[in-house]
Amino acid sequence: MSVEVDFVDKKEVHLRSLKQSGHVGFDSLPDQLVNKSVQNGFVFNVMCIGETGLGKSTLMDTLFNTSFESTPSPHTLPSVKLKAHTYELQESNVRLKLTICDTVGYGDQINKDDSFKAVVDYIDAQFENYLQEELKIKRSLVTCHDSRIHICLYFICPTGHGLKSLDLVCMKKLDSKVNIIPVIAKADTISKVELQRFKAKIIQELNTNGVHIYQFPTDDETVAETNTSMNSHIPFAVVGSTEFIKVGNKLIRARQYPWGTVQVENETHCDFVKLREMLIRTNMEDMREKTHTRHYELYRQKRLEQMGFSDVDSDNKPISFQQTFEAKRSNHLAELQSKEEEVRQMFVQRVKEKEAELKESEKDLHAKFEKLKRDHAEEKRKLEESRKALEEDYLDFQRRKQQLATAHHTLTLGKSKKK
């Protein structure tokens, strides 16, 4: 059977079923998709949130049946730090690029108000990196490392008294950004009766505070029954161990205590097998898909709206991305021209003001020059008068001197004649 599509407009599409006269071969598309996926490998990113010492690293080693050789974290860190390590795992012919992100120092500070902020910023940063790669002209989404968090395992301290305020605040901040599965850490430290009460108390507090945790999908008939049953077991009470003990002829993961042995993969002892089945073997692809189609899309929508993009214009009519871009570009150019004109006018005004200042300064300098010129002329006139007065005094002195000399000579002659 095939379908013919008649395009009437963008909103209305008519489909018409057609029959084929023979085998074409596109029924091999699922096999092609599987082969391509196996060839490219898969990416899965896990974030572990919980207080130091709750066994986050041990549980990761147990889940993936390997040793990630993580180093213990101190309780004295002044702030929360996120450390992400990427590993290459292979099972049969399937390759998995696994990234484990640990929240080092979470909940260890006296003031825990901002403990969740580093986690939220990290998740947003991974979304932003993917968005920037997506917006490039020359993209490489296939080859670039997708670091978006697909699942957050939130480790709850096995107090038996309900959730701490930090747990509620953090999960509330994260439930729209990442798939959250709460797990009760070190579940072998409380009894089964206390554990059931603790689980009920946690679910009640989550519902009361409007925290939306990840629900295993029930729309697929092949896993609907299993996932529905597993949803009722959340939060999973887990125990992790890197030690093996011999039970009969088999080596099993377990924790040895003076009072007995806790078998990690024994479903009567803890929910580890349920968690592994749901997280890895059944719903890993759904978590990856929900991260992309729900959480990333929500982040992308908000970021594009912050950038000024929208699907509708001011009249609530559909508008394309290109039209929005052209409108923003035109507005931007208009703003640039307006700013350019404003700067030009400001420059002209400042030039005029500077010219006026220079003219005023020139006027002051000219006035000072004229004053100096007048003062100089006056000084010169006074000096000339003084010179003339001195010359007259000198001539008068010479005349008197001559007269005195003449009078003296006459007197001397008169005395000589008398003798």
Q: Is it true that the peptide bond before 182 is cis, omega within 30 degrees of 0?
A: no
| Amino acid letter, residue 97 | K
- Decide: 157 and 49 in contact? Cβ < 8 Å: no
Domain residue ranges in the chain: 35-307, 318-385
Q: Six-digit token pair at 290?
A: 């929900």
* Cα within 13 Å of Cα(331), Cβ side: 7
- Decide: 403 and 395 in contact? Cβ < 8 Å: no
Beta bridge partners of 16: 4
Report the pLDDT value the prediction gives residue 409, as an integer from 0 to 100: 78
Report the pLDDT value the prediction gives residue 2, as an integer from 0 to 100: 47
- Decide: 131 and 300 in contact? Cβ < 8 Å: yes
The dihedral sign for the CA sequence 83, 283, 133, 321: negative
Helices 192-208 and 165-174: crossing angle, nearest 10°? 50
pLDDT one digit per residue (tens) for the chain, 419 residues: 444 555 445 556 678 888 888 888 888 888 888 888 888 889 999 999 988 888 889 999 899 988 888 877 777 777 888 899 999 999 888 999 999 999 988 887 777 777 889 999 999 999 999 999 988 888 887 778 889 999 999 999 988 788 888 899 999 999 999 999 999 998 888 888 899 999 999 999 999 999 999 999 998 888 889 999 998 888 999 998 888 888 778 888 888 888 888 888 888 888 899 999 999 999 999 999 999 999 999 999 999 888 877 777 666 777 776 777 777 788 888 999 999 999 999 999 999 999 999 999 999 999 999 999 999 999 999 999 999 999 999 999 998 888 888 888 787 776 666 65
Q: Write down the CATH superfamily of domain 35-307.
A: P-loop containing nucleotide triphosphate hydrolases (3.40.50.300)
Q: Name 18's Cβ contacts closer than 8 Å, sequence gap at least 6.
A: 1, 2, 3, 4
| Amino acid letter, residue 380 | K
Measured CA to CA, the distance from residue 29 to residue 36 in angstroms comes to: 10
Nearest to 254 by CA among 352, 149, 265: 265
Measured CA to CA, the distance from residue 319 to residue 310 in angstroms comes to: 8
For 133, the enclosing helix (H) or strand (E) is helix 117-134
* Cα within 13 Å of Cα(351), Cβ side: 6
Report the pLDDT value the prediction gives residue 174, as an integer from 0 to 100: 93
DSSP one-letter string for 194-252 = HHHHHHHHHHHHHHHTT--------SSHHHHHHHHHHHTTPSEE----S-EEEETTEEE
Q: Look-up: residue for tokens 């490392």? A: 145
For 99, the enclosing helix (H) or strand (E) is strand 94-104
Phi-psi map region of 266: left, alpha, beta (phi>0 left; psi -120 to 50 alpha): beta
Burial 127-152 (b: 16+ CB within 10 A, else e): beebeeeeeeeeeeeeeeebbbbbbb
DSSP one-letter string for 321-387 = HHHHHHHHHHHHHHHHHHHHHHHHHHHHHHHHHHHHHHHHHHHHHHHHHHHHHHHHHHHHHHHHHHH
Measured CA to CA, the distance from residue 181 to residue 47 in angstroms comes to: 10
Burial 273-302 (b: 16+ CB within 10 A, else e): bbbbebbeebbbebbbebbeeebbeebbee
- Decide: 154 and 183 in contact? Cβ < 8 Å: yes
Measured CA to CA, the distance from residue 82 to residue 104 in angstroms comes to: 6
